[in-house]
Amino acid sequence: MYGQEVCLFGDSIARGIILDAQGSYKPIKECFASLAASELGFGLINKARFGCTITKGREIIEHFLSRVDSETRRLAFLEFGGNDCDFRWDQISADPHAEHVPATTPERFFRMYSEVIQELKNKGFRPVLMTLPPLDAERYFAWFTRTGLDQKAILGWLGDVQFIYRWHESYSSAIWEIGETHHVPVADIRKAILEERNYSRFLCKDGIHPNAEGHQLIKSEIIKFAKEHQADKA
């Protein structure tokens, strides 16, 4: 199914960023993308960036596409949504009664993701979408409020802490809808992690970034996905 070179666009998860024992974010060499590409024998062009939303990702993709030959056939994995669904928690803490919107609204997320897929197709790329790894809502809440944000105010706005999980999950579900709409395959890494008992053990202390063990699990799912689709095309 695939050529010998794969492009990856996304956020810090795709970049292989983890939270280390000292509480600092750093890249690991054994990230799922590098591991999967090596095992499958593919070259990897990793254009994922920390904090990337679909808006910033589109800029990166368009710049990349402007410099490649339209005859080049590559596979493009896309991993967006985790930052898009996030809120400005400092603003919610300061004024929980105001209206607050995520970094990218669901409607804009669907539209921009769809447009990115079409741009990639127009350049001869074969897009593959990735669902979002699940987060641990309680761990994430404790992490982003650790600097002194008003937990009570934020919880009042949320209703319950698990709203964070449900909201995050809605963007992952939207990825499935986008894939179905545009006839693009989806690698379901979320399902692979949720099927594990105590899935939070695959996440860093911040509750949102997969740890080294999590990257190993995602790698296995990507390889499984690739082999299944190779068999489909055989």
Q: Can you spell out the DSSP letters for 119-183?
A: HHHHTT-EEEEEPPPP--HHHHHHHHTTTT--HHHHHHHHSSTTHHHHHHHHHHHHHHHHHHHTT
Structure confidence by residue, pLDDT tens digits, 193-203: 999 999 999 99
Q: Tell me the pTM.
A: 0.94
Query: What pLDDT is attached to residue 74?
Result: 84
7 vs 227, higher pLDDT: 7
The model's confidence at residue 68, banded by pLDDT at 50, 70 and 90, is confident
Q: Which domain holds residue 38?
A: 5-233
Contact criterion met (CB below 8 Å) for 127 and 76: yes
Chain centroid to CA 117: 15
The model's confidence at residue 135, banded by pLDDT at 50, 70 and 90, is very high
Q: For 16, left (φ over 0), alpha (ψ -120 to 50), or beta?
A: left
Contact criterion met (CB below 8 Å) for 169 and 193: no
CATH number at residue 87: 3.40.50.1110
Total domain count for the chain? 1
Residue 1 in this model has a pLDDT that exceeds 80: no
The model's confidence at residue 130, banded by pLDDT at 50, 70 and 90, is very high
Residue 233 in this model has a pLDDT that exceeds 90: no
